[in-house]
Structures are given as structure tokens and as C-alpha cells.
Amino acid sequence: EIVKNRRMFKGLPNVWYWIAPALVIHAVGASLYFILFSGGAVSGTIYTVVKIIMLVLPLLFVYFGNELPAFIGKKIFIKKVPYGVIVGIAMSVLILLAYIVFTYFGLLSKDVSDAVISKTTSFGLIQYYLPFAVFLSLAHSLFEEYYWRWFVFGGLRSSLSFNSAAIISSIGFSLHHFIILSSFVSWPIVVVLGTTVGVAGYFWCAMYERTKSVIPLWISHAFADAAIMLIGYFMIGLR
């Protein structure tokens, strides 16, 4: 449980020293490894360093005396896993329906597929797309919930209201998605899809606030990522 009676003088500044840079690390890293140095050894090195920082930062945050809410919580399999599955299926269906609608109205042209193929090729992933898709859907989704909801949202929640903490953390969560999306689609679509990611982040914050566990967030996030990777599979033409 979050300690609600933290002294403002002690809690707020100390939290922000950690959270302020945490909000932009992923976006800055994505602009480097995905845009500026796309593909190659430099890109891979930057990607690895960014992920290590994101992995270690929450642990250091706790080590130096800051508190975070429960990561797993109690009664996981009784209520929280089915909740995550139901929400995840709903999210994946909405994502696939959006893809169908966008394709039907010509908003996802051949240029988008070409850009997806170009990026996956430059990162050496096209021949390993299916294993990569499984890894991203299962492992990376948990990593993002660990960082964005448990650490960033949880850290902010110790000093801010739910809405403030959820909005700020969800903006940070969406930033690197804006950057990545800009490599594939036009900016009007980037704004729509990037904002949708931010809304999803806010929704996952609400799930975390309600369930006190990262588990249902991870499950629903995994379903959503699986749907996105399936769309990439169709675009690349690996059917």
C-alpha cells in the first residue's frame, strides 16, 4: 500500500528528482536508437543502455528510501487474471477493428507496409519476426508495466491525486510511441494513434489503482501488443 501520510517536504521533491527524468528517458532513447541511429551497432547499444536504465531506475528509487505500491498484490488468480484477460481481449479486438477501418479507408497505404519492412530489416528482425513478436507481447509488455505503472505512476501517486499521477505518467508513456509511429504513418495518424496510447496508459493506471496489482495490466497489455504485432505480420506479408 502507498504510504499516504508522507511529509510533503520529504516526499514531493525527492520523488520528482527521480520521476522527472524518468518521464523522458524512453522518448529520448527512442529518438536516438529508432530515428537518428536507426539500425546497426550504435542503435543496438543505445537501445540496450536505455533499457538497462529503465530496469535499474525503479530499483534504485526504492533502494534510496522511496516507496511504491504493491507490484503483484493478493488474490491474483481469483479476480485479477480473468479481469486482465477480458480487458485484453476487448483491447485487441478494438485494435484489429481499427486496423480494418484504417485499411478500408486507405489510411494505411503500401508506403506504411514498406516502412515496416524497412525498419524490421534494418534492425535485423524480419527473419525473426515471430519470436520477436512473442517476446515483445509477453516480456516487453511486463517491462513497460513495471516501469510506467509501478514506478512512474506509483511514484507520482505517493504525492499526487490519481488523475494528476495518471495523466502525467500516461503522457510520458505515450511520448516514445509518438516517435516510433512517426517512422510509419503521417503525422495526423501519429497524433491519433499516439493519443490513443496515452488513453490506454491512463486506463491501465485506473486498473492498477483498482486492482493493486500489475498482473492484470500485464495480461491486457500483452493482448494489445499481440494484436499490434499481428498487424505488423500482415503488413510484412509473412502470411
pLDDT along the chain (239 residues), means of 10: 40 79 96 89 94 97 91 72 92 96 83 89 89 95 97 94 96 97 92 96 95 93 97 81
Q: Which residue bears the cell 509511429? A: 181
Tell me the pTM: 0.89
Compute CA 71 distance to the chain's CA centroid, rounded to the nearest angstrom.
Answer: 16
Report the pLDDT value the prediction gives residue 80, as an integer from 0 to 100: 77
- Spatial separation of the C-alpha atoms in residues 64 and 140, rounded to whole Å: 26
What DSSP letter does each residue of 71-95 carry, written as one string?
A: SS-S-IIIIIHHHHHHHHHHHHHHH
Q: Is 78 exposed, middle or buried (0-12, 13-18, 19+ CB in 10 A)?
A: exposed
Amino acid (1-letter code) at residue 90: A
pLDDT digits (tens, 9 = 90+) for 66-96: 889 989 877 666 667 888 999 999 999 999 9
Distance CA 208, CA 109 (A): 37
Cell of 20: 522527472
65 phi-psi bin (left φ>0, alpha ψ -120 to 50, beta other):
left
Encode pLDDT of 27-51 as tens digits. 999 999 999 998 788 999 999 999 9
pLDDT value for 178: 97
Q: Note the pLDDT of residue 76.
A: 61
Cell 510511441 found at: 177
